[in-house]
Amino acid sequence: MGRPPCCDKVGVKKGPWTPEEDLMLVSYVQEHGPGNWRAVPTNTGLMRCSKSCRLRWTNYLRPGIKRGNFTDQEEKLIIHLQALLGNRWAAIASYLPERTDNDIKNYWNTHLKKKLKKMQAGEGDGGEDGGAAGASEGGAGAGATAGGGGKRPAVPKGQWERRLQTDIHTARQALRDALSLEPSAQPLAPAKVEPLPTTPPGCTTYASSAENIARLLEGWLRPGGGGGKGPEASGSTSTTATTQQRPQCSGEGAASASASHSGGAAANTAAQTPECSTETSKMAGAAGSAPPAFSMLESWLLDDGGMGHGEVGLMTDVVPLGDPSEFF
């Protein structure tokens, strides 16, 4: 093949992004929508490779990204999905629309792996977490995954989706078990579920990209706030500054434009936000009581009557991958 690198090595900037670069990227995406990443560097003047732009957008600037602490429920979900799907972080991330695959991957590698190992070593609970750990430790040992080298299976997308539907079914059951097992977590009692730290009442978790930039700039402009992880860290811990400069859905609209283009987690996130207003109100409403993702997830899991949609399509019709996330 001898494919040339995605970007010439000369004149391409690497390393951490500056707020200025972020701003350029965001304004471009808001105007043109995500996608056609190859054109981004030339059109924006960014000295970045297209890949880097895409990554920066999907992992950091994309609207709706939640950063910071993972909740117990998220943790459980990740563990079980990992056991079921293997290291298909994008697929896993599609169940956690507010998290990026990179984030989940990092969290898995830094926290959950160790946690599971410890649990295995202790072997006290022996429950399904152990089973999940076993499956995961084996390197996507769960039969549902392609296993092998850990790479994506060489099956056509349709088949992959079909299989994923099966996975979803299995995941549902596992999740039901998980959520009902942990008495301390009490996922079904919203009062018990601690509100998202990033979500002050009345504020949405939906941080638009421009808001992200605003925070970044804030951090940079503030004396002593800049440098390294400063601005990013501030973004990761709180979104309270997100009340300013909310763009009128342009970012979200741009994001949804990507739904037709990409099929990954980002697309799922985007696809579920057909309208900014509905999304924000949904999120804001959920933010008031319980984490939106999990309350919806729970209803998805527990609403057997509603399963018809997914179940019917399980083996006969291929339900679009974005389907599960519509419950969020």
Distance in angstroms (rounded) separating the CA atoms of residues 218 and 149 = 44
Positions in 24-53 near DNA (CB under 7 A) = 35-39, 48-52
Cα–Cα nearest to 31, from 20, 19, 40, 42: 40
Distance in angstroms (rounded) separating the CA atoms of residues 244 and 211 = 7
Q: For DNA, which residue of 15, 124, 224, 305 counts as binding (CB under 7 A)?
A: 15
Give yes or no for a contact between 278 and 305, defined as CB atoms under 8 angstroms apart: no
| Closer Cβ to DNA, 259 or 286, answer by number | 259
* CB neighbour list of residue 116: distance below 8 Å, 6 or more residues apart: 79, 129, 132, 133, 136, 137
Positions in 211-240 near DNA (CB under 7 A) = 227-230, 232, 236
Task: Using the CB atoms, write b or e for 228-264: b if 16+ within 10 Å.
Answer: eeebbebbbebbebbeeebbebbbbbbbbebbeebbb
Distance in angstroms (rounded) separating the CA atoms of residues 113 and 37 = 33
Amino acid residing at 69: N
* CB neighbour list of residue 18: distance below 8 Å, 6 or more residues apart: none
Q: According to the binding rule CB under 7 A, does residue 88 interact with DNA?
A: yes
Q: For DNA, which residue of 27, 102, 120, 238 counts as binding (CB under 7 A)?
A: 102
| Closer Cβ to DNA, 9 or 202, answer by number | 9
Distance in angstroms (rounded) separating the CA atoms of residues 218 and 204 = 20
| Closer Cβ to DNA, 78 or 179, answer by number | 78
Distance in angstroms (rounded) separating the CA atoms of residues 46 and 71 = 36
Shortest distance, position 100 Cβ to DNA, whole Å: 8
Shortest distance, position 129 Cβ to DNA, whole Å: 18
Give yes or no for a contact between 182 and 77, defined as CB atoms under 8 angstroms apart: no
The count of chain residues that interact with DNA, using the rule CB under 7 A, is 64
Give yes or no for a contact between 34 and 50, defined as CB atoms under 8 angstroms apart: no
Q: According to the binding rule CB under 7 A, does residue 74 interact with DNA?
A: no
| Closer Cβ to DNA, 136 or 280, answer by number | 136
| Closer Cβ to DNA, 159 or 281, answer by number | 159
Shortest distance, position 226 Cβ to DNA, whole Å: 10
Q: For DNA, which residue of 10, 121, 124, 154 counts as binding (CB under 7 A)?
A: 154
| Closer Cβ to DNA, 60 or 300, answer by number | 60
| Closer Cβ to DNA, 213 or 286, answer by number | 213
Q: For DNA, which residue of 106, 166, 278, 289 counts as binding (CB under 7 A)?
A: 106
Q: According to the binding rule CB under 7 A, does residue 111 interact with DNA?
A: yes
Give yes or no for a contact between 41 and 266, defined as CB atoms under 8 angstroms apart: no
Q: For DNA, which residue of 150, 288, 306, 308 counts as binding (CB under 7 A)?
A: 150
| Closer Cβ to DNA, 48 or 76, answer by number | 48
* CB neighbour list of residue 243: distance below 8 Å, 6 or more residues apart: 203
Positions in 244-273 near DNA (CB under 7 A) = 258, 261-267
Q: According to the binding rule CB under 7 A, does residue 10 interact with DNA?
A: no
Q: According to the binding rule CB under 7 A, does residue 298 interact with DNA?
A: no
Which residues form the interface with DNA (CB under 7 A)? 1, 3-6, 13-17, 35-39, 48-52, 54-56, 58-60, 67, 87-91, 101-103, 105-107, 109-111, 114, 150-154, 156-157, 160, 227-230, 232, 236, 258, 261-267
